[in-house]
Structure 1
Amino acid sequence: MRIGIIGGGSIGLLLAGRLGRGHKVTVFTRTESQADAINCAGGINIKGIHPVFTECKAETLSPSSTVGDQELLIVTVKQGAIEAVLPSIHHLKSPIVFLQNGMSHLKKLDSLHSASVYVGITEHGALRNHETETIHTGLGSVRIGLYKGERRDDIFDAIHHEFPIEIVSDIYPRLIEKLVVNACINPLTAVLGVKNGELITNSYFRRLLCEICKEVCRGLGIEEGEHRDYQEKVLLICERTADNKSSMLRDMELQRKTEIESILGFCLEEAEKRKEKVGMVSSLYMMVKGLEESGGK
């Protein structure tokens, strides 16, 4: 099967490396240097869990270029880059999967001509080590649900051996759960400059984390009786990923633009619609924006 992966970050390289074992994979990168590096190396190197080198090719995706015919396309770029990608894939009829943090990108997908548009989440841990290499740091799952169009289970059955993807009938609760986790952990670690585990081992950070979780849940309209379940999920993720730096903290350290708008920005918009007061979430949002403006210092 011809599979295109848009995005040469940690998850994009992980998918390309795994799926390339049984399919013809093309990675569409933002920079020419990364595409050249992948083509020069002949493929993707995965370290960590189940290390492997997989042959694949790469192309640069510029604003004026279009993605060639693919039987499946998986978009792994950050939310902020989706708008720039859409013109390059607008013409495609084949199934397209979007794997992003947050939910503010969903409304942008309505204009696509694809017969099957899926959205989903990934719980695999990965860290890009080089333009051609990613470290698979934690096994997880990829869950997707149909956003619009017709289901194409046959496509995902065909890649199950190389990289299982679970199709769920209602992806919305999964997206909300992932959003709550990201909204609580990512901005707080970025502001405090700590790994995920310290949010629960430091008693003051833990109390702060739990209060932020309550506000996020209220802002998203989650029933009060369910707040404890979401809090337990956040604490569990912190425990499981204790030695990891969140993606927002890594972005801050590298002075890259964070996903704060698509995560906390979305939460604030939802809270405003519901006329919920979420002062701590608003303050956390402004702290991250301020750190971005000052170069992460």
Structure 2
Amino acid sequence: MKIGVIGGGAVGLLISSLLADQGHQVTIYVRRQDQKHMINKIGIEFLSSPDIFQVRAMLIDELQQEDFIFICVKYYQIEQILTVLKNSSSTLIFIQNGMGHIDLINKMDFASTIIVGTFEHGALKVNDYSVIHTGKGKLNIALLSGNELVLSSTYKAIDSLSFPVEIEQNWHVMLSEKLVINAVINPLTALFQVKNGEILTNPHVVALGKQLCKEAASVLQLNAEKQWRRVIGIAGNTNENESSMKMDLKNNQLTEIEGISGYLLKHASVDIPYTRFVYQSIKALECYREREDKDG
């Protein structure tokens, strides 16, 4: 299959390499000429193994027709990407943290089938062409709009032992359950600058996590106790992982807090003070890092 991957971050690099390993014709679309040049020259280097995967790299404004296009950019980059994709007839697969992107996608009038997904693999970008596969998982996909037969054909085309895919029947439940995880683990690890598992070792952080989970579950109409058990399980299973939000702050980059906690605040019918606090705290840290970057 001809598969496009938009986004040269950790997830984009990992998905590109895993699909190229299956024999698909993969093109990764990136923002910078330097990254395009390095990937075309070297390929994508898998640092957790000796493998190098040959994929084609192009700039985003050079987007071509593909059978499927994975959109792996951060939430705050989605609006710009949607303008590039608005006339595409390719099947579009959106993989973002949170649910803020759903509001933006629904404003567009896409003719193609839209699939949303949650990606459970762990990935760490080392440089423009190197990625570490820090944890194996699966890709969950669900139909947001369009042809259900396209969803099943997508599954058949990309599902494999190295890239397992699971179809979910309800996109809202799938994304809501992932959003609860993101709304607890991401801001807490970012604020306290700890690994995922460490939020379970400090009773005060655990108390904060329970409140964040309770608020998120309430907004999304999920069972809070069940969701807290999921948070504990995932934080424990990924105990050595660094959350994307923690790494974004560490690297002086914007976070996806707007699409996670910001989405909950936007859709809440009552005050959710713990969520509002972590949202404003992360936004404040983004401002400090932006100022330091300018001063530096």
* TM-score normalised according to structure 2 size: 0.92
Q: Letter of the 1:181 partner, please give it.
A: I
In structure 2, what is the Cα distance between the partners aligned to 1:51 and 1:219? 45
Which whole-Å deviations, capped at 9, do the CAs of 1:88-118 have from their partners, x for residues lacking one? 2222112110000111111322424343110
Q: Is the 8 A contact 2:138 2:163 kept in 1?
A: no
Q: Which amino acid aligns with 1:215?
A: E
Asked if residue 23 in structure 1 is aligned to residue 20 in structure 2, the reply is: no
Aligned to 1:80: 76
One-letter code of the match for 1:129? V
Name structure 1 gaps, 5 residues minimum.
none
Alignment of 1:15-54 (within 5 A): 15-21=15-21, 22-41=23-42, 43-48=43-48, 52-54=51-53
> How many angstroms apart in 2 are the aligned matches of 1:12 and 1:82?
14
Aligned equivalents of 1:141 and 1:67: distance in 2? 27
Please name the residue that 1:233 is paired with. Answer: 230
Give the SS at the match of 2:47.
strand
- After TM superposition, the structure 1 stretch with the greater mean CA deviation from structure 2, 229-238 or 212-221, is 212-221
Distance verdict in 2 for CA 1:196–1:17, change over 3 Å: same
Distance (whole Å) between structure 2 residues aligned to residue 163 and residue 289 of structure 1? 35
1 CA distance for matches of 2:210 and 2:283?
Answer: 22
Q: Does 2:282 match 1:282? A: no
What is the percent sequence identity of the aligned residues?
35
**Counterpart of 1:181?**
181
Provide the TM-score with structure 1 as the length reference: 0.92
**Offset, 1:213:** 1.2
Give the Å deviation of 1:269. 1.0
Tell me the alpha carbon deviations over residues 240-296 of structure 1, each in whole angstroms, 9 at most, x when there is no partner: 11111111111111110011111000011111xx2x221111111111111111118
CA contact (8 A) 1:35 1:59 kept: yes
Distance in 1 between residues matched to 2:85 and 2:220, nearest whole Å: 31
Match of 1:158 in 2: 157
2:168–2:174 contact (8 Å) kept in structure 1: no
- In 2, the alpha carbon distance for the partners of 1:148 and 1:114 equals 9
**Between Structure 1 and Structure 2, which shows a larger proportion of helix residues?**
2
Corresponding residue SS for 2:218: helix
Q: Post-superposition, which runs of at least 4 consecutive aligned residues in structure 1 deviate over 4 A?
A: none
* 2:262 is equivalent to residue 252 of structure 1: no
Counterpart of 1:100? Answer: 96
For 2:181, what is the secondary structure of its paired residue? helix
What is the number of residues matched between the two proteins? 286
SS in 2 for 1:129: strand
Letter in 1 for 2:157: A
Contact 2:208 2:274 in 1 (8 A): no
Q: 1:107 to 1:212 in 2, by over 3 A?
A: closer
Report the aligned-residue RMSD. 1.6
* Separation (CA, whole Å) in 2 of partners of 1:283 and 1:33: 38
Structure 2 gaps of 5+ residues are none
SS in structure 1 of the partner of residue 93 of structure 2 = strand
